[in-house]
Amino acid sequence: MAEAATDLRPAPESAPPSADPAASTPPPPTPETVVVPSSPSGTYIMVRDRFTIFCDRPLPSLDMPNALAYEVADRKQEGRPLYALVCRPDMPARISVMRVLKGLEIPAVLHMVDWGVAEWPLLERKCVIVIYHRPLGGKVMDSHYGGAKRIADHVFARTVVKPIAEGLIEMGLKGITHRAIRPDNLYYIDEQKTKIVLGDCVTSVPAHDQPVLLEPIESGMAQPSGRGGGNYADDMYAFGASVLMIALGRNPLAGMADAEIIRRKIQIGSYAALVGDERVPMALIECLRGMLTDDVEQRWQPTNIDLWLNGKRLTPIQAKSEPQSQRPLRFADMEFHSIRPLSYAMYQNWDKALSIINDGSLEVWIRRGLELNDLADAIASAIKGTGAALGKADADDIIIARVLMLLDPKAPIRHRDFRLFTEGFGSSLSTAMLRKQKLQPYTDFITRELWRYWIVAQVKYNVDNQQYEGVFRELKNYLKDQNSGAGIERCVYELNEWQPCMSPLIADQYVMEVKGVLPALDAVAKTANTKVWPVDRHIGAFLRARYAKGTGSQIDAMNDQRPDRATIGMLSVLAIVQWRLGPEALYGLAQWIGGLMGPVVNSYQNRTKRKEIEKELPKLIRKGNLAEIFNYLDNPQERQMDAEGFTWAKAEYAAAEKLVYDLEHGQVDRQESAMLTGRQAGAAGAGFIMFLTYLIILLGKVF
């Protein structure tokens, strides 16, 4: 459905009415809910000439935190229950996952019928639209804050655990993590409410919409946009926490702050923190312990669930306890006997953390209380190395960040309010840029090499970490380059394969591929400020990241300090894209480009040539072919002739200037002056004699 054609018209009278009994009852508002203007009555858009999406028929009960739901009718299969999710334009969608899931029918996973980019009239711009098979039984739980009807214990495993586990296995075989498993994203696909399916997982970045309650300790510490794609173990944890909530019929930690939830999980373990004093069905205890264990290596895999479902008892998982110090370390009016609770408290009390680092009490406690000399040595080395490399004002925050990485290597990288995993950096940067948030933390993350310190702090070798090291070194080079085609804009496109171009000129067109850039610019040419270049920093970076072999040298030319060479370089960027990818004619863009060619025209020294160009250029503009315009304006032969003529003219002018100067100042040799005068007189006399001869011959013929 990429770049699907749309049509906005009055809705047909035969359109089917809403079948959702809860459509008129909106769910509890969330901070992520987007407000859109009300639609004109009876309007719809057509997608692929098949799917009718009704703009005035929202389905609030099927909304996602970053996408709104609307009714859909299928022209080829009338009566087929479908609905569409229209994604927020300021939230990156998981395009790569959409491309895999489209058309696949995975057991216990909501069937994605189609997806694409289309004009959405309520926002007056293009948006990603995902079309799903409509669950007729509604959500299993309206929200993770509310309650749900309990499912009988004797059918719980067969109704909930078995199908969802099978769905996760199939997604795992496709190399996909769901990262949006929560009770309010589980649906009854049938009206009888006998079959449960996993809901949408593509309308926001991985795990962005997940409550801290449902995320593992480490992922819960990260900011929502920086949690990353994760792995199967993360989905299993979210699945286990969701099973617990459904089995209890409510959220056992409702009203508790996120920081307190994480602290409690760290202190007593996830299972104990979530279950507390609740009465969990006996049949589920073993399964919940397996899925909610905090040790990733011990967390249940699909084979464990299959064995459990078939009645085989598994060895109870014993949580590994952290080393405990008999002598506590006092910090922030609390006493700590182990490292991880202390690490989280230091992050929560960032400004106080430096005190126990600088006075040496942390290092002494680790050496004497825990007898972890290697860790103490690493902390001492980090403090010394950071202090030597940076000034005191910049070093303090980096020292705290590095110490936290060493104390808790599994945790995300934490630098004051900025906290994420390396794999989540790209999606987080994209989200921040789309939402116009401050980008300084992201540039600091790269330039101050926080990513490298985190990789060094990891206890276990991971080949992915080495790949990240190469990636971030390249990003650092991009940030050093202030020219168009580089900078933080280049970073975001390099890290996100399907990131649409965020140039203010064409952002509303949702351009994900290079071939869409020129048509988008052509479409906005009538309304754009034609005094500015059509290639801004975002478009330059987008082309360099997506089409480096085709536009690299042209973008380099565009960064020339000379206005005429920079302008012709800008034209060459667009010309080569049109020549290789089309379309054949770009009338609006050609008109826009033509008005910017003043520096190029004026770079010709021959006034006659400039007038000729000014006369011919409008004819070429009307053809809409940028390559022809470029070839005409930057013709090598014409350029050479103009340069040679200008050089000859300058030489003649210089000679004449010198002669005049010498004559005025008496510096010309007398003999040379006499010879010059004689030549001039001889030439004048010869001319006079020739005139008399011609006159006598003419008179002789007449008389």
Q: What is the mean pLDDT of residues 538-548?
A: 94
Tell me, what's the pLDDT at 42? Answer: 60
Is there a cis peptide before residue 583, judged by omega within 30 degrees of 0?
Answer: yes
Of the listed ranges 86-100, 194-208, 494-508, 680-694, the least confidently predicted one is 680-694
Both tokens of 92, joined, read 């990156």
Q: What is the mean pLDDT of residues 18-28?
A: 36
Contacts of residues 468-471 at CB distance under 8 Å and 24 or more positions apart, as own/partner, are: 468/422, 468/423, 471/495
Among candidate residues 641, 644, 576, 573, the one with its CA nearest the CA of residue 609: 641
Q: How far apart are CA 82 and CA 62, in angstroms?
A: 11
Of the listed ranges 143-147, 268-272, 518-522, 633-637, the least confidently predicted one is 143-147
Tell me, what's the pLDDT at 391? Answer: 63
Query: In which element (H, E) is residue 335 found?
Result: strand 334-336
For the cut 60, the answer to whether the pLDDT of residue 41 exceeds it is: no
In tens, the pLDDT along 179-202 reads 999 999 999 999 999 999 999 999
The residue behind tokens 């900078």 is 487
Of the listed ranges 163-172, 301-310, 384-393, the least confidently predicted one is 384-393
**Cβ count within 10 A of residue 162:** 17
pLDDT band at 218 (very low <50, low <70, confident <90, very high): very high
Tell me, what's the pLDDT at 312? Answer: 82
Of the listed ranges 54-58, 232-236, 392-396, 556-560, the least confidently predicted one is 392-396
Tell me, what's the pLDDT at 4? Answer: 40
pLDDT band at 465 (very low <50, low <70, confident <90, very high): confident
Among candidate residues 196, 69, 194, 59, the one with its CA nearest the CA of residue 130: 69
In tens, the pLDDT along 614-628 reads 999 999 999 999 999
The phi and psi torsions of 207 (rounded to 5 degrees) equal 65, 10
Helix (H, G, I), strand (E, B) or coil at 202: coil
Tell me, what's the pLDDT at 21? Answer: 32
pLDDT band at 680 (very low <50, low <70, confident <90, very high): low
Tell me, what's the pLDDT at 32? Answer: 36
In tens, the pLDDT along 572-601 reads 999 999 999 999 999 999 999 999 999 999
Amino acid identity, residue 47? Answer: V
Tell me, what's the pLDDT at 443? Answer: 96
Between 651 and 260, the higher pLDDT residue: 260
In tens, the pLDDT along 345-354 reads 999 999 999 9
The alpha-helical segments, DSSP class H, found in 61-129 are 95-101
Tell me, what's the pLDDT at 30? Answer: 37
Most confident of 29-38, 46-55, 125-134, 304-313: 125-134
For the cut 50, the answer to whether the pLDDT of residue 10 exceeds it is: no
Contacts of residues 314-318 at CB distance under 8 Å and 24 or more positions apart, as own/partner, are: 314/286, 314/290, 316/286, 316/289, 317/289, 317/290, 317/293
For the cut 90, the answer to whether the pLDDT of residue 69 exceeds it is: yes
Tell me, what's the pLDDT at 13? Answer: 35
For the cut 70, the answer to whether the pLDDT of residue 389 exceeds it is: no
Tell me, what's the pLDDT at 148? Answer: 75
3-state helix, strand, coil in the chain (%, to 5): 50, 10, 40
Q: What is the mean pLDDT of residues 393-414?
A: 93
Of the listed ranges 23-32, 191-200, 598-607, the least confidently predicted one is 23-32
Helix (H, G, I), strand (E, B) or coil at 5: coil
Mean pLDDT of the chain: 87
Q: What is the mean pLDDT of residues 527-548?
A: 95
Q: How far does CA 493 lie from the centroid of its chain?
A: 6
Q: What is the mean pLDDT of residues 476-501?
A: 96
Look up the pTM and report it.
0.86
Tell me, what's the pLDDT at 690? Answer: 73
Tell me, what's the pLDDT at 56? Answer: 93
Of the listed ranges 13-22, 103-112, 134-143, 216-225, the least confidently predicted one is 13-22
Among candidate residues 18, 11, 16, the one with its CA nearest the CA of residue 43: 11
* Percentage, residues of the chain above pLDDT 70: 86
Tell me, what's the pLDDT at 303? Answer: 81
What the chain holds in terms of domains, given with CATH numbers, is 9-133 (3.30.200.20), 153-309 (1.10.510.10), 332-491 (no CATH), 493-634 (no CATH)
Tell me, what's the pLDDT at 321? Answer: 76
